[in-house]
Amino acid sequence: MSNISDDKKALAVLAHDIKSPLSSIIDLLTLIDKGYVTNPEESKQLVARAIKKASILIKMVDDILDYSKLEDKSLMKREKLNIFNTLNESIMLMRPYAEKRSIAIEQCEFCVNDEYVNGNHTFLLRVFNNIIMNAIKYNRNSGKIIFNSYRNSENKNIILEISDTGIGISSDDIDKVFLIFERGSNARKNIDGSIGLGLSLVKQIVEDHEGTIEIASTLNVGTTLKITLPLYKEGENNEL
């Protein structure tokens, strides 16, 4: 539950995180405007860097819009959904980013892979995309992302574990990772346009599906996210 102080802090962080790339864009373009750079090729490179920064800003705004959409539950229609089809779709989308850094994606050969939940495809795809993208961003070059899945002992839930061999999260930071606008101190070193909405968005979506998410991490070893979702029951109400 946020209070006024948390809201103010969140706004200050948001303002900083948006203003930093904006300032950087102005810095880059001012070099051309004020004649510090006149060589056409160098100017072109500066403009390209400014465009890249602007794209990061667009991603930030998209994250904020997605987060605000979660307030409107009518946008989250749910249906009988094969969760592994959604997961595999996400892996397919994210694989090129992993390959750029030679990160191997290892799927468990003997795990369950044909389970249904009462879910919204778009939002759950977003969950997997965010988690896998984090596992790529905060991984080492030539690292691994490992998937594991199983039913819980009562056969009521499907459990999905996604592990990476990345920079990990310190014990001081681990309690904050699901808070809005928070990033671990280790994560701040990876400047990529993340504004700390990713995992708070993931947690909100999982909880909207009556699921839970847990995190375990060791600094400089890796992180595992464990998602538990209720299995689909025939005839259950599909609306949130």
- Residue ranges that bind other proteins, judged by CB under 8 A: 9, 12, 15-16, 19-24, 26-28, 30-31, 34, 36-37, 49, 53, 185, 188-189, 191
The nearest distance, CB 203 to other proteins, in angstroms, is 22
Q: Of 207, 228, 235, nearest to 79 (Cα)? A: 235
What angle do the packed helices 121-137 and 83-100 form, to 10 degrees?
30
N- to C-terminal Cα separation, the chain? 21
Q: Of 135, 154, 131, nearest to 143 (Cα)? A: 135
State the Rg of the chain over Cα.
20
The nearest distance, CB 53 to other proteins, in angstroms, is 6
Based on CB atoms, which residue is closest to other proteins, 53 or 203? Answer: 53
Based on CB atoms, which residue is closest to other proteins, 24 or 122? Answer: 24
Based on CB atoms, which residue is closest to other proteins, 55 or 152? Answer: 55
Q: Distances in Å between the alpha carbon of 63 and those of 18, 37, 59, 114, 234?
A: 12, 34, 6, 30, 33
The nearest distance, CB 46 to other proteins, in angstroms, is 8
Based on CB atoms, which residue is closest to other proteins, 54 or 92? Answer: 54
Residue 73 DSSP one-character state: G
The nearest distance, CB 52 to other proteins, in angstroms, is 9
Based on CB atoms, which residue is closest to other proteins, 48 or 108? Answer: 48
Phi-psi region of 233 (alpha: psi -120 to 50; beta: other; left: phi over 0): beta
Q: Which residues contact 76 (CB under 8 A, 6 or more apart)?
A: 70, 120, 123, 208, 240
